[in-house]
């Protein structure tokens, strides 16, 4: 594979299918190794990437596939979540590209498509959750695409054993 930018015409952007399960799992594992995104392989099921509809939530996993070989080279999940004020906010999650295709513009093509979809869903803005300890350089990269850092999310991980034992009253 050359280091040239991949042309948009050489990529198919489409919705996830159950047949993409293995390819997406591989990409997510790479992401897990790099950024510890909290991937639990048992919970990423064949159906997890399908278009989902739930009250106050819409979710799609987009797939970037090479036209020439049919290889899945990049993936990204987008969600529209209705907040307490009744507005839909778009989120881009687990945006990942296969190592050998990073820096070739595939992620940008995928993100542009995601923005179009989120706008069509009536989202007023789009947010990206990224690793706090991630490279500052990434913020600059997204900054060029119009993203500004506005909030910091703090997270406390629960012990899963405790979770199973605590009765809900």
- Report the interface residues with another protein, using CB under 8 A: 15, 17-18, 47, 50-55
Q: Which residue has the tokens 């296969």?
A: 98
When the beta carbons of 50 and 128 are compared against another protein, the nearer one is 50
Alpha carbons 151 and 132: distance in angstroms, whole number? 11
Q: Considering the complex, state which of residue 2 and residue 19 has its C-beta at the smaller distance from another protein.
A: 19
Q: Smallest distance, Å, CB 167 to another protein?
A: 11
**Helix H or strand E segment including 91:** strand 88-97
Give me the least distance between CB of 120 and another protein, in Å please: 8
Distance in Å, CB of 106 to another protein, minimum? 22
CB of 154 to another protein, least distance (A): 24
Compare residues 55 and 146 and give the one whose CB is closer to another protein.
Answer: 55
8 Å CB contact between 135 and 121:
no
Q: Taking the mean position of all CA atoms in its chain, how far away is CA 64? A: 12
What end-to-end distance do the CA atoms of the chain give, in Å? 57
Nearer to another protein, 81 or 139 (CB): 81
Q: What whole-number distance in Å separates Cα of residue 77 and Cα of residue 99? A: 18
């Amino acid at each position: 594979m050359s280091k040239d930018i991949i042309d948009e015409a050489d990529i198919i952007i489409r919705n996830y299918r159950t047949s993409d399960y293995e390819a997406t799992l591989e990409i997510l594992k790479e992401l897990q190794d790099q950024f510890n995104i909290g991937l639990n392989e048992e919970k990423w099921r064949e159906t997890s990437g399908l278009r989902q509809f739930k009250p106050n939530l819409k979710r799609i996993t987009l797939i970037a596939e090479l036209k020439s070989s049919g290889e899945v080279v990049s993936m990204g999940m987008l969600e529209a979540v209705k907040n307490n004020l009744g507005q839909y906010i778009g989120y881009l999650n687990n945006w990942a590209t296969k190592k050998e295709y990073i820096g070739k513009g595939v992620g940008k093509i995928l993100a542009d498509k995601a923005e179009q979809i989120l706008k069509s869903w009536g989202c007023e803005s789009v947010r990206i959750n990224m690793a706090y300890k991630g490279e500052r350089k990434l913020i600059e990269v997204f900054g060029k695409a119009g993203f500004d850092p506005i909030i910091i999310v703090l997270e406390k991980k629960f012990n899963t054993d405790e979770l199973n034992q605590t009765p809900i009253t």
